[in-house]
Amino acid sequence: MVWVLILWLYAFVTVIALIAMTAYQLISLSDLECDYINPYDSSSRINAIVVPEFAAQGVLCAFFLLSGHWFPFVVMAPITYYHARLYMKKKHLVDVTEIFSVLNGEKKYRMIKLALYFSIFLIVIYRLVMTAVLLMMEEDGLEL
């Protein structure tokens, strides 16, 4: 049961990192829209964290699958598939020459990802607390 707690702690840290990376990308796009930074800086900032975000999200999804936590896996599977498809087609990076034409679409995409990551965050917090409480009750010899 301790390994399940470690899994949920890892998921907690990973989901916070995913939320932070997505928020950072969204802030970079908003700064570009308000003309605070140039397109090259915005593109390079976003492109620097796209692959680590995809990797962290994919590993977390795989952990949920391998540990048998089906509900979080089913919630994360569509975005994992979409990320894999983008990466295979080499469309995961933001192009500096076309960033203004796709700015609104990129912002919507990241807002949807942010909402999805927040929903996963709520699931992870709930399961982390439940696992910790059940583990403490098991140590004390109590049963539900």
More confident residue, 40 or 140: 40
* 98 touches 47 (CB < 8 A): no
Torsion of CA 52, 62, 91, 116, to 10 degrees: -80
Residue 130 lies in a domain: no
> Domain for residue 55, yes or no?
yes
Total structural domains in the chain? 1
**Within a domain: residue 143?**
no
pTM of the predicted structure, to 2 decimals: 0.91
21/26 Cα distance (integer angstroms): 9
The CB density around residue 66, as the number of other CB atoms within 10 Å, is 10
In the prediction, which pLDDT does 144 show? 56
Distance CA 79, CA 119 (A): 13
Instruction: Give me the pLDDT at residue 137, please.
Output: 87
Say how far apart CA 19 and CA 22 lie, in whole Å.
Answer: 5
Predicted confidence at residue 35, as pLDDT, reads 86
Domain range enclosing 36: 13-118
Structural domain includes residue 105: yes
Flag whether pLDDT at 142 surpasses 80: no
- With a pLDDT cut of 90, the percent of the chain lying above it is 79
Q: Within a domain: residue 1?
A: no
Q: Is residue 63 part of a domain?
A: yes
CB 144 within 8 Å of CB 11: no
- What pLDDT digit, counting tens, does each position of 84-136 carry? 999 999 999 999 999 889 999 999 999 999 999 999 999 999 999 999 999 88
The answer to whether residue 54 is domain-embedded is: yes
Q: Report if residue 128 sits inside a domain.
A: no
Tens-place pLDDT, residues 30-87: 999 998 999 999 999 999 999 999 999 999 999 999 999 999 999 999 999 999 999 9
